[in-house]
């Protein structure tokens, strides 16, 4: 019996006691010439036996535990792979959360115990990749665990080096527009002084993959829930595109990652930047990428699947969120900047009044209240919302990102109305740009009053 399993529920998780043990076992054993029947290992026991064999003979590539149902907030999956350190062989664990990864290197036996205990209590799926086979273990409530074996996806062993060469999603060698925008040199190297911008682009592309997946905009998922392959292209609009670094990055990633037509539009008020970006797009024959002069408030949006606005100043971020909601975007991503609107309007409670007489604390509190209201209003409008750090503060202090994925269920609910109003009332905020644009009346919480309804999204 594998370690880490609880006695309770063993039969449900595939760790059942042999059927020959129980009342009357002695009589049955005598009738079977004192030899119990040989039974096949339970699915979980077989799976972890395969893992131990692969770790022992060097055929292990990696193992993942997914479908997390435990109590740790934000944890999504565990990924483990074999490595070799100066101290000897280890299993390198990545505990993947919604907004961060935690890495730990464990001795083989300790790692095996962690994986077995995790499967026994907190995860419903496990995948094992080796050079000899691929194994998938699934558990669903009310059903027997299921183990599926298939052919290996790769037949050669992986490198056991701890520090692997960094693989970039967009490499200067095969992404010519990076050179045209001054991010890379003619020989395919990152230009001096542009290292931070290049890291920002790589991080942005990495985030897009996760966000598109959450919004069900990837591959066959999108085809079955949104436009058919023959319908309009998946459209991303970048409001306040600036010099277009991240607009180009979004286009390049979508073109490579998505198996259907895509379109990207960058909107910018400065004519010279629009002309520059258009020239680079034409030079590199980037069909489906365009730029136009305009403001967030004035740009006509006929079809928007994804709306982004990164570092749009002050209430321009509110304008972008409102436009995305009104257009029915499946995904809205903003990185707020220059929080000026609420600072002179805050009327904090007595307990905070003395603390907020310091300008820097008042500024930070105004940033917090503004973005908290934006996230709460997005939730009210029908979006599952995340707030997280986008990039390191070494590159910019404006590193907060708000992302909303449109829900398929009801949008406005009484509890969300109360949450927005309670937050606004706590700081004495009676007026805020996004609330105004969405027709949401701020004020003291009104108990169970739900007369404010979420806006109807149109396409």
User: Residue-wise pLDDT tens for the chain (459 aa)?
Assistant: 444 444 444 444 444 433 433 444 444 433 434 445 545 578 889 999 999 999 988 899 899 999 898 888 888 889 999 998 888 899 999 898 876 778 899 999 999 999 999 888 899 999 999 988 899 999 887 788 899 998 886 656 555 554 544 445 788 888 899 999 999 998 888 999 999 889 889 889 988 988 998 888 975 444 444 444 456 899 999 999 999 999 999 999 998 888 889 999 999 999 999 999 999 999 999 999 999 999 988 888 888 999 999 988 889 999 999 999 999 999 999 999 888 899 898 888 889 989 988 989 999 999 999 999 999 999 999 999 999 887 654 444 567 899 999 987 665 567 899 999 999 999 999 999 999 999 999 975 444 344 455 555 543
CA distance 101 to 37: 46
3-state secondary structure of 330: coil
Percent of the chain with pLDDT over 90: 46
Query: With contact defined as beta carbons under 8 Å apart, do 256 and 249 qualify?
Result: no
Q: What share of the chain is helix, strand, coil (3-state, %, to 5)?
A: 35, 25, 45
CA distance 212 to 336: 20
The reported pLDDT for the residue numbered 447 is 45
Query: With contact defined as beta carbons under 8 Å apart, do 290 and 278 qualify?
Result: yes
3-state secondary structure of 110: helix
CA distance 108 to 102: 18
| Tokens 């910019």 found at | 396
- Note the Cα 159 to chain centre separation in Å: 27
CA distance 315 to 370: 10
The reported pLDDT for the residue numbered 133 is 86
Query: With contact defined as beta carbons under 8 Å apart, do 305 and 236 qualify?
Result: yes
As given in the structure block, the two tokens for residue 338 are 């220059």
Q: Which residues contact 278 (CB under 8 A, 6 or more apart)?
A: 290, 291
Query: With contact defined as beta carbons under 8 Å apart, do 369 and 362 qualify?
Result: no
For the entire predicted model, the pTM comes to: 0.63
The reported pLDDT for the residue numbered 155 is 59
Residue 251 host element (H or E): helix 245-257
Q: Which residues contact 60 (CB under 8 A, 6 or more apart)?
A: 51, 54, 81, 82, 128, 129, 130
- Note the Cα 377 to chain centre separation in Å: 20
As given in the structure block, the two tokens for residue 248 are 């180009």
Q: What fold characterizes domain 177-438?
A: Rossmann fold (3.40.50)
């Amino acid at each position: 019996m594998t370690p880490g399993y609880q006695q309770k529920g063993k039969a449900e998780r595939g760790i059942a006691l042999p059927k020959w043990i129980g009342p009357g076992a002695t009589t049955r054993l005598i009738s079977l010439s004192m030899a119990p029947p040989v039974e096949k290992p339970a699915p979980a026991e077989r799976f972890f036996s395969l893992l131990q064999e692969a770790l022992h003979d060097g055929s292990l590539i990696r193992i993942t535990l997914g479908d997390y149902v435990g109590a740790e907030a934000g944890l999504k999956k565990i990924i483990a792979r074999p490595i070799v350190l100066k101290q000897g062989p280890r299993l390198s664990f990545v505990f993947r959360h919604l907004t961060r990864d935690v890495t730990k290197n464990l001795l083989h036996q300790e790692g095996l115990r962690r994986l077995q205990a995790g499967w026994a209590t907190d995860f419903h799926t496990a995948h094992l990749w080796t050079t000899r086979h691929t194994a998938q273990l699934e558990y669903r409530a009310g059903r027997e665990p299921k183990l599926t074996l298939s052919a290996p996806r790769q037949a050669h062993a992986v490198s056991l080096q701890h520090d692997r060469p960094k693989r970039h999603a967009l490499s200067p060698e095969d992404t010519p527009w990076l050179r045209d925008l001054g991010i890379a040199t003619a020989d395919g190297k990152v230009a001096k002084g542009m290292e931070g911008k290049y890291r920002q682009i790589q991080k942005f592309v990495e985030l897009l993959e996760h966000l598109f997946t959450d919004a069900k905009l990837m591959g066959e998922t999108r085809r079955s829930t949104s436009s058919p392959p023959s319908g309009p292209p998946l459209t991303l609009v970048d409001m306040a595109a600036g010099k277009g670094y991240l607009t180009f990055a979004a286009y390049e990633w979508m073109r490579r990652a998505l198996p259907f037509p895509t379109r990207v539009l960058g909107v910018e008020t400065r004519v010279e930047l629009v002309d520059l970006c258009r020239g680079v797009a034409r030079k590199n024959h980037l069909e489906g990428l365009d730029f136009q002069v305009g403001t967030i408030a004035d740009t006509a949006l006929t079809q928007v699947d994804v709306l982004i606005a990164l570092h749009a100043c002050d209430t321009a971020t509110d304008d972008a969120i409102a436009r995305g909601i009104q257009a029915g975007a499946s995904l809205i991503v903003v990185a707020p900047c220059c929080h000026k609107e609420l600072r002179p309007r805050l009327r904090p409670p007595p307990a905070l009044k003395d603390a907020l007489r310091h300008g820097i604390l008042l500024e930070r509190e105004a940033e917090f209240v503004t973005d908290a209201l934006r996230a709460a209003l997005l939730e009210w409008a029908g979006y599952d919302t995340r707030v997280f750090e986008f990039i390191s503060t070494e590159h910019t202090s404006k590193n907060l990102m708000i992302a909303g994925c449109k829900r398929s269920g009801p949008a406005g609910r009484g509890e969300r109305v109360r949450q927005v109003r309670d937050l606004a009332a706590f700081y004495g905020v009676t007026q805020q740009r996004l609330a105004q644009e969405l027709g949401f009346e701020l004020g003291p919480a009104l108990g169970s009053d739900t007369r404010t309804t979420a806006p109807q999204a149109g396409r």
